[in-house]
Amino acid sequence: MSVPREHSVYADWLTWGTRIALVVLGGVFIAYVFGWLAPLVSFDRLPIVWTYPVSRYVQETGAPTGWSWLAAATRGDYANLAGVAMLSIVTVVCYLRIIPILLRRGERLLAVLAGLQVAILLVAASGLLATAH
pLDDT value of position 125: 85
pTM: 0.75
Q: Is the pLDDT of residue 3 over 90?
A: no
What is the residue-averaged pLDDT of the chain? Answer: 89
Q: SS3 helix, strand, coil % of the chain, rounded to 5?
A: 70, 0, 30
109 within some domain:
yes
Contacts 24+ apart (CB under 8 A), 38-43: 38/75, 38/76, 39/75, 39/76, 39/77, 40/72, 40/75, 40/76, 40/77, 40/78, 41/77
C-alpha–C-alpha distance, residues 120 and 126, integer Å? 10
pLDDT value of position 18: 95
131 within some domain:
no
pLDDT value of position 126: 83
Q: Is the pLDDT of residue 31 over 90?
A: yes
11 within some domain:
yes
99 within some domain:
yes
C-alpha–C-alpha distance, residues 79 and 39, integer Å? 9
Region 31-54: what's the mean pLDDT? 91
Q: Which residue has the higher pLDDT, 10 or 5?
A: 10
Closest CA to 84 of 4, 24, 36, 10: 24
Work out the pLDDT band at 26, boundaries 50, 70, 90. Answer: very high
How many domains does the chain fold into? 1
133 within some domain:
no
Q: Is the pLDDT of residue 1 over 60?
A: no
Q: Is the pLDDT of residue 4 over 90?
A: no
pLDDT value of position 66: 84
Work out the pLDDT band at 36, boundaries 50, 70, 90. Answer: very high
| Domain enclosing residue 122, as ranges | 5-126
CB atoms within 10 A of CB 60: 13
132 within some domain:
no
pLDDT value of position 128: 79
